[in-house]
Amino acid sequence: MTDTLQSSVIASVRPRPGSALAAEVENRRDIFEKTEAAEVAVLTPVDPGGLSHDLRHALAARIAALHAEPEQASRYAAGVTDAALLAVTDPGSAADDPRVQAMLAFTDAVSTHPRDIVAADVAALQSAGISDADIVRLAELNAFLAYQLRVIAGLRLLAGVPQ
Amino acid sequence: MTDEIIRRFTRNVPEWRPRVVPVKLTDATQDQLDALQVTPSNTKVSDYVLVLAHDVETLKVRSPLFNAIMYGKGGLSRAERELGALAASIVNHCIYCAAVHADRHAQLSKDKTVTDKLFAMGENADLGPRDRAILTFGMNLARTPHSASAADVEALRAAGLDDGEILDLILSSALFGWANRLMHILGDPVRKTS
């Protein structure tokens, strides 16, 4: 290994150096580097559209909390500067802004029971004035987090790290 | 002609009807055209990819990541990665993803019985011990990250999977936690009926 793998996923699990798992992670370095690049694309894109970096971090923190991953929730909440948005990182909370509230309701459903999502859930976002492009951005943020949090949980099991 | 929404699992891949308006190729930015790999000789792009082009920065990194996880060298066999993808797609009820990846599993393994049983009997399908362990772990990880247990990992090891293979299974099931939340959420699986 020449340089350290930059990966928030691996940093959160810390496979024991020299272990079989550490070697298998290194064999898949490109996957973890691409995963890191995807985190940048959904959290801090150059063109954030109608979802500010602040809002994206708040949603990511809420999604991590919904997945019972408090360490990741804290990591993402640390990227939120606006106090009103910091408040919605708590999954029990609601937003005063109807546009943000529509995104919270959608996010809660996509995180916890995606199989039950129907066309009306997407139509509800459109009715709240959210553009189709922002709906795709919101879905990608949710979808990426669902992936990343599962990779972290799976690696933790494989490394034998207590939950 | 109307579209009938498909609600039952099938290996017969349906069409996909978006719930949002896809990017129009004629309106696409250069960045979007690059991500779509559109060239004068290749102008065929699916509605699904045109929908994802609304978030071009994510699309650009997602496609190579998808290929690395599903087709990368070594580790878990390609057919068994498809089983990981299928486990998540069944949990998340993504009919379209399940059809595509059940069909790929049947082709790669030259065996339709595994996916026939899965679609007929659901998660309790009687499978061989290795497929059974892969399915159980892949489905539990798809439900919530904490639903997968150390006992599920032990079952994988007992079935002969090493750490690299288990890591590939984690990645393929998790990747479909992502893909299902696009495909199943942003559109409907349909068939044209007259």
Residue in chain B lying closest to A144 (CA): B178
Number of domains chain B contains: 2
Give yes or no for a contact between A9 and A159, defined as CB atoms under 8 angstroms apart.
no
Q: In this structure, is residue B141 part of a structural domain? A: yes
For residue A91, the surrounding DSSP H or E stretch is none
- On whether both B167 and B121 belong to a single domain, the answer is yes
For residue B189, the surrounding DSSP H or E stretch is strand B187-193
Domain range for residue B12?
Answer: 7-69+187-193
- On whether both B107 and B172 belong to a single domain, the answer is yes
% of chain A residues with pLDDT over 90 = 90
**Minimal Cβ distance to B55: which of A34, A68, A137:** A137
Give yes or no for a contact between A57 and A80, defined as CB atoms under 8 angstroms apart.
yes
Residue in chain A lying closest to B89 (CA): A115
Chain A CB contacts of B175 below 8 Å: 147
Per-residue pLDDT at A163 exceeds 70: no
- On whether both B20 and B102 belong to a single domain, the answer is no
- On whether both B175 and B89 belong to a single domain, the answer is yes
A8-159: which CATH topology?
Answer: AhpD-like (1.20.1290)
Give yes or no for a contact between A148 and A35, defined as CB atoms under 8 angstroms apart.
yes
- On whether both B33 and B84 belong to a single domain, the answer is no
- On whether both B90 and B15 belong to a single domain, the answer is no
| Best residue in A147, A148, A161 for a mutation probing chain B (most B CBs within 10 Å) | A147
Cα Rg of chain B, angstroms: 18
Chain B CB contacts of A137 below 8 Å: 54-55, 58
Which of A112-121, A148-157, B30-39, B170-179 is predicted with the least confidence, judged by mean pLDDT?
B30-39
Chain B CB contacts of A133 below 8 Å: 54-55
- On whether both B87 and B112 belong to a single domain, the answer is yes
Question: Smallest CA–CA separation between B174 and chain A, in Å?
Answer: 5
3-state secondary structure at position A56? helix
What does the alpha-carbon distance between residue A19 and residue A79 come to, in Å, rounded to a whole number? Answer: 33
Please state the ipTM of this predicted complex: 0.96
- On whether both B19 and B92 belong to a single domain, the answer is no
pLDDT band at A118 (very low <50, low <70, confident <90, very high): very high
- On whether both B131 and B167 belong to a single domain, the answer is yes
Q: What is the pLDDT along chain B (194 residues), one digit of tens a residue?
A: 678 999 999 999 999 999 999 999 999 999 999 998 877 777 789 999 999 999 999 999 999 999 999 999 989 999 999 999 999 999 999 999 999 999 999 999 999 999 999 999 988 899 999 999 999 999 999 999 999 999 999 999 999 999 999 999 999 999 999 999 999 999 999 998 86
- On whether both B23 and B56 belong to a single domain, the answer is yes
Task: Mark B105-144 as b/e (b = at least 16 C-beta within 10 Å).
Answer: bbeebeeeebbeebbeeeeebebeebbebbbbbbbbbbeb
Residue in chain B lying closest to A113 (CA): B92
- On whether both B79 and B111 belong to a single domain, the answer is yes
Residue in chain B lying closest to A35 (CA): B65
% of chain A residues with pLDDT over 70 = 98
Mean of pLDDT over chain A: 95
- Alpha helices of chain A — where are they, by DSSP H? 8-13, 20-27, 29-43, 53-66, 70-77, 83-87, 98-112, 119-127, 132-159
pLDDT in tens, A22-65: 999 999 999 999 999 999 999 999 999 999 999 999 999 999 99
pLDDT at A1: 46
Q: In this structure, is residue B152 part of a structural domain? A: yes
**Minimal Cβ distance to B185: which of A35, A139, A152:** A139
Q: Which pair of tokens denotes residue A103?
A: 């995104």
- On whether both B64 and B85 belong to a single domain, the answer is no
